[in-house]
Chain A
Amino acid sequence: MQANQRISSYRMKKKTTEVIKYIIIIVAAFVMLYPLLWIVGASFNRGANESFFFWPHDFTLVGWKESLQAPGWGSAQGYSLLRALWNTMQYVIPHVLLGTFSTLITAYVITRMHFKGKKLVFALIIGTLLMPNTIFRIPMYAFWTTPAISSIWEGNKIPFMGYLPLWLGSTFAVNSFSIFMFIQFFRTIPRDLDEAAYMDGANKMQVLWYVLMPVLKPIVITVALLLFIASFNDYQGPLIYITNAEFFPLSRVLPMLGLDSTNTYAHVYARSIVSVLILIIVFFAAQRYFVGNDADTAIKG
C-alpha cells in the first residue's frame, strides 16, 4: 500500500515538474518572440497598430511593395534600401573574410608552431580580450580623419575603399575573441592528424588547408557568423565615420526611417524587417554548425 502511494505521488511530482518545465519554457519563448511577431504583423497594417494583438486589422501590402524604395530621406540620386544594403556589404564582407582568415592563421601559428615569445603573444591576446573597445575608438578616429589618411578613404567610390576604417583592422587579426575561439578549438584536435601529414612530407600550410580544414569547418563558420553579426549590427562605427549620405549603410538609414507624407507605419516596419532579413537568412544557414560550438570552446579556459 505504502509502496503504491509512494509510486503514485512520485509520478504526480514528475508530472507536475514536467508541466512546470514546459510552462516556463513556453511562456519565456512567447515573451521573447512576441515582439518580433508583433512587428511582422504591424508591417501589414496600414495605420498604427494600437492593439496588443499582432494580427493586422487594416490589411495592406503597400508597405512591402514599396519596401525597397527611397525612404524619403533620399534625393534625386535615387537612394534606396538596396543601395544602403550594398553600402553595408562593402564593409561587412571584407570584415568577415579577412577577419576569419587572419585570426585563423594567427591561432594556427600559436597552437601548432614553436617560436620564441609564444607565451608573450598568447598573454597579449588574452589580455586584449577583455579590453574595452572604447579606449581605442577616439585615437583611431583621430588617426583615420587626419587629412593625409582621410584622403585615402573618405568619399572614395571604389568598392570597399570608402569604408576602410570599418574593416581594415580585421585584416590584421585584431579580433581577439575570434583568435581565442580558434585556439580553444585547435587544442581539441589531436596532433596525430598533423603528424600523419608530416610523415607524408607536407609542410605547415598544406597541413592547415588540406588536413585540418575539414575538421575546422564548424568553428570557421561560427567565427565568420559572429563577425558577420557584429559587423552588420555595428552602429557607432558608421555613425562616426560615414557622413556622406551617398555612403550611408543600413545602420545610419534605419533610424531615419520615419513617418512622413509618403511613409506609413507599414512602410517603416516592412523596411526594418527587410533590413534584418539578411541577418535571419545568414543565421539560419550557419546555424547547424553554430549552436553548441560556441560553448565548447569557451569553457575550456
Chain B
Amino acid sequence: MVGEKKWVPYILLIPWIIGFLLFKLYPFISSFVMSLYERRGRTSTFVGLKNFQLIFDQSTYLGSEFINSLKVTFTYVFVTVPLILIVSLLIAYVLALKIKGVGFFRTSFYMPTVLGANVAIIVLWRYIFEYNGLINQGLKLLGFAPISFLGTAAGAMTSIVLLRVWQFGSTMLIFLNALKNVPETLYEAATIDGASKFRQFFSVTIPMITPIILFNGVMRLVETFQVFNGPVLITNGGPERSTNVINKLIYDIAFLGGDLNVGTAMSWVLFVIIMMFTILIFRSSRYWVHYQD
C-alpha cells in the first residue's frame, strides 16, 4: 500500500467508466430525449409530452393497448412474485431440515431455472399447455375435463405464470442459505418457551430472514415487470391481448412498428413504475425487516 502509484485505480476503472457513460448514462438520457420527439420518415420533430398523452389516451388504439398491457403486467407481477416467494421459501425450509439426498433435490429444483429460460424449453412449454398437451392429458387421467389454457384469458395467464414459478430454483437457493444462517440458539430458546415448530416458523424463521425476503422480493419484482419470452413465445400476447405485457407491447411498437419514440415513452413509464414500487418497498422495509446487528 505504501508507495503505490496514485493513478492505478483510475486506470483500472476506465472500462467501468466507459461502460457507465456509454451503456448506462447515455441511453438513460437519450431515451428520455427520444420520448419527447416524433418521427416521420427520417426527420424528427420535438413534440414535448405528446407521446405520453397519446399512450394514456384510452380512445386511441395506442392508449387502449397501453392501459391494457399495464393491467396485464400488474396482474402478472402481483400473482407471480408472491407465488415465487412462498413456494421457494417453503421448499427451502423443507430442504433445510435434514433430508437425505439434499444435493439431488437442490439440483433438481435448480435445473428448471437454468433450462426453463431457454427458448427451446419455452417453445416446448407451449405444447405442454395445448388442448391435447401434457397437462390436459394429466387431467384426463384424473377424470377431469380438459382446460383450454391458450384459448382463455385466465388460462393463458396461468401458463406464463406457471412457467416463471417453475423456475423458482434460484430464489430457493438464496432462501436456503439464509435459513442455514439462522442461529440454532433462537430455535432452542423458542422450543424451551413451548412454541411448536409450526409457530417457530412464523415467530423465529421469518423475522430472521426478512432481509432476504426483501432482497428476493425486489429483485423478482424488477424482473417480472419486464417479462418478455413467455408472453411472446407461448401465448403471443393473446388470446385477445390478455397476456400482452408491457415489454411485448414496447417491442411491437418500437421494433415491429418502427416507432422508437413512443417506445421510449412507454419504457419511461415502465421505469417510473418500477422505481416507485422499489422505493415503496424499501421505505416500508423499515417496519417489517429486522437486521441482525
List residues of chain A with CB under 8 Å of any chain B CB.
17, 21-22, 24-25, 28-29, 32-33, 35-36, 38-39, 48, 50-52, 102, 105-106, 108-109, 113-115, 121, 124, 128, 130-143, 169, 171-174, 179, 198, 203-204, 229, 232-233, 235-236, 239-240, 250-251, 254-255, 257, 269, 271-273, 275-276, 279-280, 283, 287, 291-292, 294-296, 298-299, 301
Contacts and interface: CB of A to CB of B under 8 A. Distances in A.
B177 interface: yes
Interface of B: 1, 4, 6, 8-10, 12-13, 15-16, 18-20, 22-24, 26-28, 30-31, 34, 90-91, 94-95, 97, 99, 105-112, 114-115, 117-121, 123-125, 128, 132, 134, 137-138, 140-141, 166, 170, 173-178, 181, 197, 211-212, 215, 218-219, 222, 225-226, 228-229, 232-233, 247, 250-251, 254-255, 260, 263-264, 267-268, 270-271, 274, 278
Nearest to B266: A134
A139 B267 CA distance: 11
A128 B270 CA distance: 16
A168 B146 CA distance: 48
A62 B62 CA distance: 48
B13 A109 contact: yes
B267 A137 contact: yes
9 contacts: A51-B137, A105-B15, A139-B30, A140-B27, A141-B254, A233-B118, A236-B251, A298-B174, A298-B212
Contacts of B15: 102, 105-106, 171-173
Contacts of A130: 218-219, 222, 274, 278
A233 B274 contact: no
B123 A32 contact: no
A132 B225 contact: yes
A48 B1 contact: no
A22 B243 CA distance: 36
B134 A38 contact: yes
A236 B118 CA distance: 12
B24 A272 contact: no
| Residue from B19, B28, B107 having most chain A Cβ neighbours under 10 A | B19
Contacts of B24: 128, 131, 136, 174
Nearest to B112: A32
A155 to B, nearest CB: 19
A25 B99 contact: yes
A280 B108 contact: no
Contact of B8 (A121, A204, A298): A204
| Residue from B27, B166, B254 having most chain A Cβ neighbours under 10 A | B27
B267 A52 contact: no
Contacts of B233: 235, 255
Contact of B119 (A24, A131, A235, A292): A235
A124 B176 CA distance: 29
A138 B254 contact: yes
A140 B263 CA distance: 13
A137 B99 CA distance: 44
A254 B114 CA distance: 17
Contacts of A102: 15-16, 19
Please give me the 4 A-B residue pairs with the lowest Cβ-Cβ distance, nearest first.
A172-B19, A295-B177, A272-B120, A139-B27
A135 B31 contact: yes
Contacts of A269: 124
A25 to B, nearest CB: 6
Contact of B16 (A48, A138, A172): A172
A294 B247 contact: no
A243 to B, nearest CB: 11
A25 B178 contact: no
